[in-house]
Structure 1
Amino acid sequence: MTLEVRSLEDRFVRLEPFTDDAKSEVGAALNCDPAAWDIMVASACGDHFDAWWAAAIAAMRQGHRVAYAVRDQASGRIVGTTSLYEIKPDYRRCEIGSTFYRPEARGGVINPACKRMLLGHAFDAGAVRVEIITDAINPASQAAIRKLGARDEGILHKHKITWRGRIRDTAQFAILDDDWPHVRANLDARLASFD
């Protein structure tokens, strides 16, 4: 499995791998909704952005992550970020995560469009498993992941520690290569409803 670092694009969203040129625009997009950042493992809001950005760039250089700016095609604005990370070529698996959208970009076409492209990119590269995890106290995120058709694999107790110091239980989901044709068809149908 080799995940090529390149832009991904459909009629709704353009996913642009992080570059220094995009840093200020990404920072501006993420500098909102501080309460949403409170449950995250790391914060990219306000004064936390520079360290978060540096960690993402370092992980990209090491081949462990492809971090993307999420550009809304309709407005031309960057409205969030998402990543393929925990990339394990030997095991042909990765995770989708480190996802944050501005409040006005939530609940519409942005998330399903991003997931369709990220999953397609991973499975086209030879992945057999794509994981999606979220905080066990975040029911909205869990509902969105279930809506994708991901397998609910249960709770990993005391799995991570948030930047605020809370010991976090993690809800774990996965989409396998066997699941992908069905998940892809469902996502394509959802996206068609936005035309």
Structure 2
Amino acid sequence: MKLSPVVLEDRFVRLEPFTAGLEGEVRAALDCDPEAWNGMVSAAFGEHFDGWWAAALKAMVGGSHIAFAVRRLSDGAVVGTTSLYEIKLEHRRCEVGSTFYRPDARGGPVNPACKRLLLDYTFSNGAVRVEIITDAQNAASAAAIHKLGARDEGVLRKHKITWTGRVRDTAQFAVLDEDWPEVRARLDERLAKFA
């Protein structure tokens, strides 16, 4: 498996690996909806942005993380961020997540388009397993992951501590390489409705 910070694009979004030139647009996209950050492990709005941005760039240099700005092609706006992280080349696996979208980008083609691009990129480059995790209390996120076709692998108890100090349980899902054709077909069917 070989993953590197490359631009990924379809007819709905362009995923642009973080660079210094994107900092202002990403900051503006994430500096909203403080309540939505409460279930996240780390926060990136307001005063939290600078530390979060620096940590993402550092992880990218180390090769364990590829953070992307999500640019909606219909208007050219950066509407959020998503990542490949916990990249384990020796095990041919990674996680897709650290995802946040502005409220106006939720519920349409942005999220399924991003997941389609990221999953295709990982499996096309040798991944055998892609994990997607969420706060076990976030029913909406878990439902969206189920809708993708990822398989529920249970709950990891006291798995992470959020930026607010809450010890959270994590619902874990995965897509395996043999699952990918069916998941891809489901995503393509969903995205065709937005064409």
TM-score by length of structure 2 reads 0.99
Aligned counterpart, 2:167:
167
Runs of 4+ in 1 over 6 A off after TM superposition: none
Q: Could you report, residue by residue, the CA deviation over 1:96-131 in whole angstroms, capped at 9, with x for unpaired residues?
A: 010000001001100000000000000011000000
Unaligned runs of 5+ residues in structure 2 are: none
Q: Helix, strand or coil: the match of 2:58?
A: helix
Cα offset for 1:39? 1.4
Answering whether residue 120 of structure 2 is matched by residue 120 of structure 1, we say yes
Aligned counterpart, 1:188:
188
Q: Which amino acid aligns with 2:112?
A: P
C-alpha distance in structure 2 between counterparts of 1:4 and 1:57, whole Å: 14
Q: CA RMSD in A?
A: 0.4
Q: Helix, strand or coil: the match of 1:38?
A: helix
C-alpha distance in structure 1 between counterparts of 2:190 and 2:121, whole Å: 18
Aligned counterpart, 1:153:
153
Q: Helix, strand or coil: the match of 1:156?
A: strand
Seq. identity, %? 68
Q: Helix, strand or coil: the match of 2:39?
A: coil
Q: Helix, strand or coil: the match of 2:75?
A: coil
Q: Which amino acid aligns with 2:150?
A: A
Answering whether residue 100 of structure 2 is matched by residue 100 of structure 1, we say yes
Cα offset for 1:87? 0.1
Q: Helix, strand or coil: the match of 1:2?
A: coil
C-alpha distance in structure 2 between counterparts of 1:45 and 1:128, whole Å: 34
C-alpha distance in structure 2 between counterparts of 1:5 and 1:100, whole Å: 19
Q: Which amino acid aligns with 1:145?
A: I
Q: Could you report, residue by residue, the CA deviation over 1:78-102 in whole angstroms, capped at 9, with x for unpaired residues?
A: 0000000000000000000100000
Cα offset for 1:4? 2.3
C-alpha distance in structure 1 between counterparts of 2:148 and 2:19, whole Å: 29
C-alpha distance in structure 1 between counterparts of 2:5 and 2:23, whole Å: 17
Aligned counterpart, 1:110:
110
Q: Could you report, residue by residue, the CA deviation over 1:127-173 in whole angstroms, capped at 9, with x for unpaired residues?
A: 00000000001000000000000000010000000000000000000
TM-score by length of structure 1 reads 0.99
Q: Which amino acid aligns with 2:109?
A: V
Matches within 5 A, 1:1-195: 1-195=1-195
Q: Helix, strand or coil: the match of 1:11?
A: coil
